[in-house]
Each structure stands twice: as C-alpha cells, then as structure tokens.
Chain A
Amino acid sequence: AQSVSQHNHHVILSEAASLELGCNYSYGGTVNLFWYVQYPGQHLQLLLKYFSGDPLVKGIKGFEAEFIKSKFSFNLRKPSVQWSDTAEYFCAVHDMRFGAGTRLTVKP
C-alpha cells in the first residue's frame, strides 16, 4: 500500500546541533514531496517542496531536503538548529498523504 513513513517520533537536540529527519515513501513513479512544519499553536507552514530538477531542495529558515529516488527518501536537514525550531514536522507526498509527524524539541 502507498504510504509515507517518518521513523523518528520525537527528536531532542541541543541548540547548534545538526538535524536530520527521515521520510520514506512507498509510491512508484513520479512523486511530488513536501515538508511542512507546525509550530506550537499554529497551523501548517510549508518548509520546502520537490517536484523535479535538483534533488537537493532548499527551503525557508535554513532547512533543506534531499530526494534520493533509489532509497525512496526525502530527508529533512538543518546544519544548526535553534530553540525556535521546536515544532512538529510532517512529510507529505503529492496527494497529501502525510507521515505521522516528528516532534522536534530543541533545548536552549
């Protein structure tokens, strides 16, 4: 069955640590991929998206993601996290099938 998996349920980091959140999908063919963020008390905000072209996608607030077709992955990365990055992160594919989300807690 088609699905989106986020393996990390809750990630806790200290400020300035590097971040990588995993996202795997089980779709065949062409996919469009998204990462959204939900800050506490807010609705979704788009971080970045991939449709085609360069598999390394840069988004807002220093986030980037790499589409690796052979691994069916679209992992989210940030070299140095900040306390304000504390939020819930969702990976989604083109039909808006969402992963379960990963909670990121950044300790000051």
Chain B
Amino acid sequence: GAVVSQHPSWVICKSGTSVKIECRSLDFQATTMFWYRQFPKQSLMLMATSNEGSKATYEQGVEKDKFLINHASLTLSTLTVTSAHPEDSSFYICSANRDFNEKLFFGSGTQLSVL
C-alpha cells in the first residue's frame, strides 16, 4: 500500500529557533498534502492544505508566517515552524492522497517540544 514518510518523529528545540518537518510520499505522487496538529487529549486539527507548486491554503487562525509550508514536488511537502515558542509544542502529522477524491495516507507524526 501507499506509504507516507514523515521525519523527524521527535524533535526538541530551543525557543526562537526554527524546525523543519518533512513529509514524503514514497510510492505515489501526492496531488495534495495536509498538515494537522494535535494538542494533548484532543483530536486532529487541520492546519493547512498544500498543493504542489502553489501556495498552501491555511485554516482560519493558523499563522502562515509562523507555519511555513512548501510543497516543492509531488512527493515532498515541508512544514517549518519558525521562531518556535513553547506554545508551539505539539504533535504534527501530515497526510497525502493521490487524487482529490482518494483516501488519505498518513505519516507517523512528529512530536515537537520547544524549551
């Protein structure tokens, strides 16, 4: 089956630094990739939708200057948390699908801890 690889799975950083999270579709071309965030004991919250070669569409309340998304190719999307602060500590997960109406495949997630 289709595989989505997300890296790193766990990262600790100092406040004020930037962190990049990668999401790769390993055996298919992902038309669309989605980035989600999960706070403890809550469900996933969609942050943004990215399409290859175009600007990401951010959900209301998500700061696009804080969470930079680059969908450089059909197999790679990156989320950069810029000038991270402790309140950005969270679990981030990406997902992708081949086509608009097809099922999602999920990365394994990234636990970000900002000190």
Interface residues of A (CB under 8 A from B): 32, 34, 36, 38, 40-41, 43-44, 46, 49, 51, 88, 90, 94-98, 100-101, 103
Asked if B104 is an interface residue, CB under 8 A from chain A, the answer is yes
B109 CB contact (under 8 Å) in A51, A88, A95, A103: A95
Q: Can you name the residue of chain A whose Cβ is closest to the Cβ of B91?
A: A96
Q: How far is the CB of A23 from chain B (nearest CB, A)?
A: 15
Does the CB pair A41–B109 fall under 8 Å? no
Q: Give the residue name and chain of the A residue nearest to B32 (CB).
A: A43
Q: A44 touching B44 by the CB < 8 A rule?
A: yes
User: Which of B41, B46, B108 contacts A32, CB < 8 Å?
Assistant: B41
Whether B36 lies near A44 (C-beta < 8 A) is yes
Considering the chains assembled together, what is the distance between the CA atoms of A36 and B46 in angstroms? 13
Least CB distance, A91 to chain B, in whole angstroms: 12
Some 23 contacts from A to B, beta carbons below 8 A apart, are A32-B41, A38-B103, A41-B100, A44-B34, A44-B44, A44-B46, A46-B43, A46-B44, A49-B43, A88-B103, A88-B104, A90-B104, A94-B41, A95-B91, A96-B38, A96-B91, A96-B106, A96-B109, A97-B108, A97-B109, A98-B106, A100-B1, A101-B104
Query: B49 at the A/B interface (Cβ < 8 Å)?
Result: yes
Residues of A within 8 A of B106 (CB): 96, 98
> Which residue on A lies nearest to B106, using beta carbons?
A98
Is the CB of B54 closer than 8 A to any CB of chain A? no
Closest chain-A Cβ to B103's Cβ sits at a distance in Å of: 4
A residues less than 8 Å from B93 (CB atoms): 96
CA distance A74 to B100 in the complex (A): 29
Q: Which residues of B contact A43 (CB under 8 A)?
A: 34, 46, 49, 95, 104
